[in-house]
Chains A and B, each alone.
Chain A
């Protein structure tokens, strides 16, 4: 028979200090730094003295491989095999993550750097390209027409997709059934539609077919036959954005807790009131995020616009008539020219476009940063303030009633 002995704790042991289990020890840091330094030196020696290698990319790759080898050796001096594997895996994961970060930074910085020439001129924001030939200096011409076109086209696209998309998402989430399952399946299939095919669809239907049949159309449909224009581009963007918005909104609405819905229905609210006063407000931030991310996607997409909007150097404020250029299209059109001035303008426009997307993205994060029901500090404070004022009001009323009764 075995007995269980409970370890006795000495009386004067005092508080046991909490030990940190994570974190790097000093030897780990030394091993990593030493390996890095050794790898750099060895590779530099290889590239300058011993072998005829050159090239930045080659240097980085060889240095990394040498680092991995030396680091593995150093760690294996005082650790066992599983720990060595753990360290190596950590090195690879860190390296890959760093590589991705570097790639992003390079893309952003490179675009802004090449665009600085154009971004520095004030006329770049206030003029269009009507006076600027390809060989004109950067002090003439700008992207006013492209910015205007982008804003108008995305506004029209949003006017189509937001009401239709959100209502359709409400339908998918709130009225389940065989029909809505079918619609959901088709919508998910359409998220696979390549954007260039969406552009081709509008090109061949609205621009070619409707224009050919323009004279046979009844009067109330004739406005649809617009030819290459901002409106056609907005239609193409809408076709591309609609499934994306519906899908994202559907997911957000389905995340609203069922208990909230049931509570509302149990209080006697109709389904419509439940949706309007409970479901949609709860999902509001998520819906905003869905819409804004869809907008960011639609604003930067070039290929549907390339096929449908046409190209012009003039500012065209009427999206229903005549070609209207937008930012991504302007970028594409400028950088495929041979002359340096146009390429610089293209990079400037790309930087503006990126900034626009960044702003939209930041807006999405500010609006939709929290899941439903979790309040920001300001919201909590305002809510507490309202509740406090209510309490004061109630107390005053109770007091008044009390005095009325006693007098």
Chain B
């Protein structure tokens, strides 16, 4: 014999009328909410339209120049918009070289500063230093530019008629490496003019490095500060020194954030304008020698040539701007993906 539990849920009987049915919990939006949602959605749409308009406009305006030049726009090394002979190859390579020099200098500085603030600095001092780094990121780029032009170049890097300083030392002793070579310049010749060493990619790169270091350092510091305390204490409990703990916990934890921060800095370095314009003497030929006078960047090209009156000149600049934008966009998107995927960057 089996015992079956009979269902005993009794539906309360209504005295009269229809039985109860589940009520819909969706309520109609009050009027104020409908207005609010409408306004918010309109603002979002407006922003979207503005942003798409900028992108679309740049593309449309650049179109005549790009059609005129074809693939040569990416490979030619000249900027003669009247004679239909123009291309961004030289300035494109110049942009990348300046950004690479900047990142090479900025990365160790930023890692050092971020590690110092998050791991070494006294507790009292740390908030002050955080503010200092953020402030450094807010200093206008033109200030860094005039610093580079009036102090760094003439008084620290290329001093006097002989051009004494780091670039000369590099080309004298490391000149056999192609990028450190300088054409028509013999460092052992006392008559050699220092002007071959000024206004170079290297010096522009240092100025840009000054601008991007605080940006990178600030993101990295946030990432390092998020390293879990439990794992830090675990490392210490196993007998690690402070550096051992940093290598075993903080750096692996922050790796994604570090890569992302570096790429954010790279994106800024690619688009930096005024610092580069003040330092570099712009040329349109590929200049692989970073210590030598000349070089260029797309942003410097735009800033120095925008007054060209011909339509083709403007269209060509638009094309160059589009190439630059595409480059920074890719770098930033990759940075965002890396930061989001990493363990450390998920919260930020």
Contact = CB atoms under 8 A, between A and B. Distances in A.
B231 interface: no
Contact of A83 (B61, B241, B321): B241
Given A89-B243, A188-B336, A192-B267, A300 B39 contact: no
Contact of B142 (A194, A203, A328, A360): A328
Interface stretch (A40-48, A97-105, A138-146): A97-105
Give the residue among B36, B117, B336 with the most A Cβ atoms within 10 A: B36
Contact of A239 (B50, B129, B318): B50
A320 interface: no
Interface residues of A, number: 97
A96 B134 CA distance: 17
A190 interface: yes
A208 B61 CA distance: 12
A106 B43 CA distance: 44
B341 interface: no
Contact of B47 (A93, A99, A164, A174): A164
Name the interface size band of chain B.
35 or more
A205 B57 contact: yes
A372 interface: no
A193 interface: yes
B119 to A, nearest CB: 8
B146 A111 contact: yes
Chief secondary structure at chain A's binding surface = helix
B139 A300 contact: yes
Given A302-B273, A361-B135, A192 B329 contact: yes
B51 A187 contact: yes
A201 interface: yes
B48 interface: yes
Given A86-B244, A335-B149, A204 B120 contact: no
A99 B116 CA distance: 12
Contacts of B145: 332
A331 B141 CA distance: 11
Nearest to B133: A100
B303 A306 contact: yes
B299 interface: yes
B278 A193 contact: no
B273 A335 contact: no
Contacts of A36: none
Contacts, number: 272
B217 interface: yes
A358 to B, nearest CB: 7
A99 B105 CA distance: 12
A92 B165 CA distance: 23
A57 interface: yes
Nearest to B347: A255
Contacts of A182: 48
Interface stretch (B80-88, B106-114, B179-187, B288-296): B106-114
B54 interface: yes
Contacts of B43: 164, 167-168, 170-171
Contact of A204 (B132, B242, B318): B318
Contacts of A110: 147, 150-151
A365 B128 CA distance: 11
Interface in A64-120: 82-83, 85-86, 89-90, 92-97, 99-101, 103-104, 106-108, 110-111, 114
B112 A354 contact: no
Interface stretch (B3-11, B27-35, B190-198): B27-35
A109 to B, nearest CB: 10
A115 to B, nearest CB: 10
B140 interface: yes
B166 A335 contact: no
Interface string B112-126: 110111011100000
B142 to A, nearest CB: 5
7 pairs of A and B residues whose beta carbons are closest in the complex? A96-B112, A300-B140, A194-B271, A97-B116, A86-B241, A167-B43, A272-B36
Interface of A: 54-58, 82-83, 85-86, 89-90, 92-97, 99-101, 103-104, 106-108, 110-111, 114, 164-165, 167-168, 170-172, 174-175, 179-180, 182-183, 186-201, 203-205, 208, 239, 242-243, 246, 251, 270-273, 275, 293, 296-297, 299-303, 306-307, 328, 331-332, 335-336, 343, 346-347, 350, 353-354, 357-358, 360-361, 365
